[in-house]
Amino acid sequence: MRYPIATLLAAGLLGAASANAQTAKNAPVLSSIKPDFSHPITNIPGKTIRTVLVTYAPGDSSPAHTHAKSAFITAYVLEGAIVSAVNGDAPKTYKAGEYWTESPGDQHGVSANASKTQPAKLLAIFILDDNDGPLTTFDKPH
């Protein structure tokens, strides 16, 4: 079965932020992280697609984090604009309809709403090994 790119992207972004994630003390927190769905990929034994819907209030951000060891992620911006930087790269702003990807082991250093006045929303789509988790682990402060 073939899925539209938006569906696959959404699945990755949702998985990126999970209910298992823990925030650092005094770190900014996301307005909402909602697991959306999880489904085995029947033609790729041992792999699952998971999605997470991440909603940022105006000015919201999330602490630096990594994802499950096997996770390939596509983050698809549904609404507003998100500033993101992975592996120490320069931050880039992604607007609704745009996306970025993260490979297994990548460190997501910047993830924030680009606006101080408008909300932003993204869908994280994860392709990962069955039972790999937690989906997101926030870095410990130094």
Residue 22 has pLDDT above 50, yes or no: no
Give this prediction's pTM: 0.75
- Does the structure show a pLDDT above 70 at 38? yes
In this structure, the strands spanning 107-113 and 32-40 are unpaired
What's the pLDDT band for 142 if we cut at 50, 70, 90?
low
Q: Are 123 and 3 in contact (CB under 8 A)?
A: no
Average pLDDT over residues 114-118: 96
**Proportion of the chain above pLDDT 70, given as a percent:** 77
* More confident call, 23 vs 129: 129
User: How many distinct helices (H) and strands (E) make up the chain?
Assistant: 1, 11
CA distances (Å), 43 to each of 2, 39, 49, in order? 11, 12, 12
Which letter, b or e, does each residue of 9-35 get, where b requires 16 or more Cβ atoms within 10 Å of its Cβ? bbbbbbbbbbeebeeeeeeebbeebeb
Token look-up 């539209």 returns 4
Q: In sequence order, what are the beta bridge partners of 21?
A: none
The mean pLDDT value for 93-97 works out to 98
Higher pLDDT, 29 or 134: 134
Q: Where are the alpha helices (DSSP H) in the chain?
A: 5-16
Domains observed in the chain:
5-19+46-129 (2.60.120.10)
User: For 90-109, what is the mean pLDDT?
Assistant: 95
pLDDT confidence bin for 34, thresholds 50/70/90: confident
Rounded average pLDDT over 75-93: 96
